[in-house]
Amino acid sequence: MESGLRSVVINFTGICAVALVLAMASQGSLLGADSADSPPSELELKAAFVLNFVRMVKWESVSGEENAELSICALGNSDFGNAVRRVTGGKLIGARSILVKLNPNPDPTHCRVVIVDAAQYPIARQALNVVKNSPVLTIGNGPGLIQMGGMFELLVDGRKVQFDASLEAVRRAGLDVSARLLQLSRNLRKGGNDL
């Protein structure tokens, strides 16, 4: 299992890999000194992906973005949401602090990012419909969110954490997402335009 998790980090290419390595090097690890002896878990790696996705959006291009915080809303309480909270705690996007909060009814005025664990997928469609034409980044833990209108799905393929992306959903939201990030998505590397 340990070599499988190491291969996740090794295969996590491009700018996401650089950001993850810098985050780990600057803080000893993603989780602090206590985890130096153990590799990050799958959920911790997925949470690092969420942090990097958020960093790869030009938030200053979104009107009304002078707030002191960037809110990540979780549809429900889950291990995934808790991992995102731990990994993003104390991090900044520009001069803005990241705040992860539980919000089963997210709206574009209170949430810039919506994360959805697979257990909340049955209730996700309504929340995604509320934010789909707004500059809100939507990320799911597992397959199925893109079919509901979400932007990114975090997946385990073999023993590697990867992601799929929906260009249509990103364009519809009007977010300025790094083209380099989109090029790293599993489905777009395979030549697809979407799922």
Q: pLDDT by residue for the chain (195 residues), tens digit each?
A: 444 433 333 344 444 444 443 343 333 344 444 455 688 999 999 999 999 999 999 998 776 656 678 999 999 999 999 999 999 999 999 889 999 999 999 999 999 999 999 999 999 999 999 999 999 999 999 999 999 999 999 999 888 999 999 999 999 999 999 999 999 999 877 665 554
Paired tokens of 107: 């709206």
pLDDT at 7: 36
pLDDT at 60: 85
Please tell me the pTM assigned to this model. Answer: 0.80
Region class of 147: left (phi > 0), else alpha (psi between -120 and 50), else beta: alpha
pLDDT at 39: 87
User: Which domains, ranges and CATH numbers included, belong to the chain?
Assistant: 2-189 (3.40.50)
Residue type, 67: N
pLDDT at 36: 58
Phi/psi for 138 (5° steps) reads -120, 125
* 99 touches 69 (CB < 8 A): yes
Rounded CA separation 102/8 (Å): 29
Q: Exposed/middle/buried for 172, CB within 10 Å: 0-12, 13-18, 19+? A: middle
